[in-house]
């Protein structure tokens, strides 16, 4: 069967609805739909608003978005250099095993190198064995000693209202 070719490009405003739909698919796959509250308009504002904080690339097959990678810069104090952080990578199931995920990661690695980043990193759920094997196959190291610490919602608001010694 002939598979349509694909190409990778920076996301455009017109891609936002498709990217947001894929974010919903990703949340479903990761069993995290209960955490999904952002809208396509929220995503558009963060990508293309007055002060964008994220960037995205998309994979297109016959002009239709089939995958995306959303990323932003972080910083390593140990390296004293910025890094590139991949927030989400997703390829629609019907388009997997065609090299799209690999192409998205290669493009991001090139962006990181072109921008002088000291590292390129992301998180993966510990139960997502296919993703872990895929990433390790590309040369990534899954960091076994690190855990993500997160404060959101009411816990974030509560922490923000606590007094600290420097506030006194």
CB-CB contact of 89 with 24 (8 Å): no
Number of domains making up the chain: 1
96-118 pLDDT per residue, tens: 999 999 999 999 999 999 999 99
CATH number, residue 129: 3.40.630.30
41-72 pLDDT per residue, tens: 999 999 999 999 999 999 999 999 999 999 99
**Buried b / exposed e along 104-130 (16+ C-beta atoms within 10 A):** bbebbbebbeeeebeebbbebeeeeee
**Mean pLDDT of the 110-137 span:** 96
151-167 pLDDT per residue, tens: 999 999 999 999 887 76
CB-CB contact of 70 with 88 (8 Å): yes
The answer to the question of residue 75 being in a domain is: yes
The answer to the question of residue 50 being in a domain is: yes
Percentage of the chain surpassing pLDDT 70?
Answer: 96
Q: What pLDDT, on a 0 to 100 scale, did the predictor assign at position 168?
A: 57
Bridge partners (DSSP) listed for residue 56 = 70
Per-chain mean pLDDT for the chain? 94
The answer to the question of residue 1 being in a domain is: no
Q: What pLDDT, on a 0 to 100 scale, did the predictor assign at position 3?
A: 64
Active site residue ranges: 135
The answer to the question of residue 16 being in a domain is: yes
Domain of residue 137: give its range: 6-167
Phi, psi angle pair for 138, to nearest 5°? -90, 0
């Amino acid at each position: 069967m002939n598979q349509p070719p694909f190409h990778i490009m920076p996301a455009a405003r017109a891609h936002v609805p498709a990217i947001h739909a894929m974010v919903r698919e990703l949340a479903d796959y990761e069993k995290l739909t209960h955490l999904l509250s952002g809208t396509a308009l929220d995503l558009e504002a963060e990508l293309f608003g007055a002060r964008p904080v994220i960037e995205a690339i998309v994979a297109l097959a016959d002009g239709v978005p089939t995958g995306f990678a959303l990323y932003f810069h972080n910083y390593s104090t140990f390296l004293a250099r910025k890094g590139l952080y991949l927030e989400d990578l997703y390829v629609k199931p019907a388009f997997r095993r065609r090299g799209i995920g690999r192409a998205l990661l290669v493009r991001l690695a090139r962006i990181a190198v072109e921008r002088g980043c000291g590292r390129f990193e992301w998180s993966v759920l510990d139960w997502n064995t296919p993703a872990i094997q895929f990433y390790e196959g590309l040369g990534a190291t899954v960091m076994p000693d690190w855990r993500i610490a997160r404060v959101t919602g009411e816990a974030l608001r509560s922490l923000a209202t606590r007094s600290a010694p420097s506030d006194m």
